Amino acid sequence: MLGPPGVGKGTQAKMLVQALGLKHIASGELFRRNQTRGTDLGVKAQGYISLGNLVPDEITIAMVLEEVLSEPSKDGFILDGFPRNMVQVESLHQALKDIETNIDCAVLLAVPRDELLKRLTGRRLCTKCQANYHLMSSPPGRSGLCNHCDSPLYQREDDMSIAVNTRLEVYYSETRPIIDYYDSLGCLRQIDGVGAVGEVAYRVSNSC
């Protein structure tokens, strides 16, 4: 699942995971889980994440490949937020070759930059179940509280404005080039990410 921060990769990946029974491997969520637990990995990643930079490859690749290789799902997996540069692409493909599997489909979600900024700055997450809300387009029933588990909502530190701009710049300079690579493999599907979540999900599921 490819695309800039705020485009809806996580939301769409969660819908596909439910519909198809795939394993969901989201690098950003793995980092946030480690930060919440206060692990060494979480502490090492914290400074990079809060400023909107990529966490160094040696930390990220080991963390994600461990998830890919442990308890492989027989129906496959969705990678969300990984790979984000060519070094990660190469490590991923080497690891997949070793287990005789491959990427079937690279879904690129696209929305205009001003829409991304609105989505990122209005995003709120549940502190407990990580459910996703938006202050304007999908607010919770009761202000500041999760509809599912009543826990308080929070704003990700890296969804605040300075880090948001850095994340978008990092995406266009480091991550965009991997799109050409997946295009050259013939497995890239570019999807318009503007619209209701269900409409975008319909486009995604029809593309692969």
Residue that has been written with the tokens 């400023």 in this structure: 51
Q: Which of 81, 100, 157, 96 is nearest to 123 (CA)?
A: 157
The one-letter amino acid at 97 = K
Q: Which is nearer to ligand AMP, 84 or 119 (CB)?
A: 84
Q: Which is nearer to ligand AMP, 12 or 88 (CB)?
A: 88
88 counts as binding ligand AMP under rule CB under 6 A: yes
Judge whether 9 counts as a catalytic residue: yes
Tokens of 95: 């690891």
Q: Which is nearer to ligand AMP, 100 or 158 (CB)?
A: 158
Per DSSP, helices labelled H in the chain are 9-20, 27-37, 40-51, 57-69, 86-98, 113-122, 161-170, 176-185, 197-207
181 counts as binding ligand AMP under rule CB under 6 A: no
Residue that has been written with the tokens 């995003």 in this structure: 123
Judge whether 124 counts as a catalytic residue: no
Tokens of 174: 């480091």
Do the bridges between strand 123-126 and strand 106-110 make them parallel or antiparallel, or are there none, so unpaired? unpaired
- Active site residue: 14, 32, 119, 123, which one? 123
Select the span of 14-22, 46-54, 94-102, 191-199 touching ligand AMP (CB under 6 A): 46-54
Q: Given candidates 4, 14, 158, 200, which one binds ligand AMP under the rule CB under 6 A?
A: 158
28 counts as binding ligand AMP under rule CB under 6 A: yes
3 counts as binding ligand AMP under rule CB under 6 A: no
Tokens of 55: 């966490």
Judge whether 142 counts as a catalytic residue: no
Helix crossing, 40-51 with 161-170: angle to 10°? Answer: 90
Judge whether 156 counts as a catalytic residue: yes
Q: Given candidates 24, 25, 31, 201, which one binds ligand AMP under the rule CB under 6 A?
A: 31
Residues that bind ligand AMP (CB under 6 A): 5, 27-28, 31, 48-49, 52-55, 60, 81-82, 84, 88, 158, 167
Catalytic residue numbers, as ranges: 9, 84, 123, 156, 167
